[in-house]
Copies of this chain bind each other. A is one copy, B any other.
């Protein structure tokens, strides 16, 4: 009897994580070597609770439509499994669920935390003697997984950011004589500046906007920053700034938290864009506007990158291929060719070398004034936002197909997290 597979989504979602899910399910079907693909509701929680969705109840059209659907269709979660020794109960429960539903393959689609969970699950075979093949599938707008050249989800966020900053820059520029002179966009990236860096892709000429990029890898230097803003306004008439949410001051505190209390003793409202805006108001007295992209940047499938979508689908289908070839404890990663023209392929990498590690912007991607990125960064980033996708629209908005999301009948007793 063919083994079934379990697929789960984990951590923050992206514009293309559903594309990975769709490609994986369709590849499993095509292979004819896998029974059913179950999807865990809300990530690993669904696996523990035996909350499983039978993806065979979805039409092929619905599965194909996942390439254009942001969010996580089966639900995701933030929940990290401890080591097998520390929480054997959870692992034994997972095995119970796997056994009850004849699951031989486990696919975990997430970032570095999830790679860690997947790595632990992959050890079940050895440590707890249940034969499971566990494959982690990369996904993160943060682009901070090691070994892989890039992470599915990032390219689409990067294309959103580059396009948005290009458009907003034209807006600011046209009004700058008598109105707003500074525009600030806050983007995600708590520890690594990949998303902020990608705003540089908005440029056609070297001194086009954005003029300043504040990266979490660099300690914020208020004086130098304000001087640079003034210089740019003098030269260009306006100044466009992209700031990563994770920028810290020289005391190691996030800028967004550095004014901690207001007059009522309340914690200060968050957001680093308003912090920078406030600084420019007070110190330079220059009219400015600010935007915070937040979830918009990681869910904007209407402006997904074609290359990113291809990556997302390729890691999904390769996860199935790797599992069927007998692999365990690996992740399909993206390998960039050394050719001038961008080419890529998928290879398998061991989770032991990926879990819990974080890839920051390399030093040679950061400009000498520390407030911008180098051509090397742009050369790396540019291929990742190439090409557009064909989001279908109806009634003026992207179409969402219906999903049945049929639950698999439970066979075990209830599980309390």
Contact = CB atoms under 8 A, between A and B. Distances in A.
Contacts of A167: 15, 70-71, 295-296, 299-302, 398
Interface stretch (A131-139, A260-268, A351-359): A260-268
A311 interface: no
The 7 closest A-B pairs by CB, nearest first: A71-B170, A385-B396, A72-B174, A291-B294, A269-B274, A167-B299, A171-B299
> How many copies make up the complex?
2
A303 B305 contact: no
Contacts of A282: 266
Interface string A380-409: 001001111000010111101000000000
A178 interface: yes
Contacts of A75: 174-175, 177
Contacts of A173: 71
Among A168, A289, A396, residue most surrounded by chain B Cβ atoms (within 10 Å): A396
A78 interface: yes
B170 A299 contact: yes
B70 A171 contact: yes
A301 B166 CA distance: 10
Nearest to A17: B174
B170 A70 contact: yes
B274 A397 contact: no
20 contacts: A9-B174, A70-B170, A71-B173, A73-B174, A76-B174, A76-B175, A77-B177, A78-B179, A159-B397, A162-B397, A164-B296, A164-B300, A168-B296, A170-B400, A261-B263, A262-B262, A269-B269, A269-B271, A270-B277, A271-B271
A163 B397 contact: yes
Contacts of A281: 267
A193 B273 CA distance: 25
A42 B177 contact: yes
B278 A269 contact: yes
B270 A398 contact: no
Interface residues of A, number: 85
A204 interface: yes
Nearest to A79: B178
A196 B164 CA distance: 20
A185 to B, nearest CB: 8
Contact of A274 (B162, B265, B270): B270
A298 B13 contact: no
Among A74, A177, A289, A386, residue most surrounded by chain B Cβ atoms (within 10 Å): A177
A278 B266 contact: yes
A335 interface: no
B387 A71 contact: no
A284 interface: no
A312 B358 CA distance: 48
Given A171-B13, A201-B397, A270-B277, A295 B299 contact: no
Given A278-B269, A382-B395, A396-B387, A298 B171 contact: yes
Given A13-B175, A171-B13, A163 B398 contact: yes
A5 interface: no
Given A71-B172, A269-B274, 6 more contacts: A45-B178, A167-B300, A183-B295, A289-B295, A305-B396, A387-B396
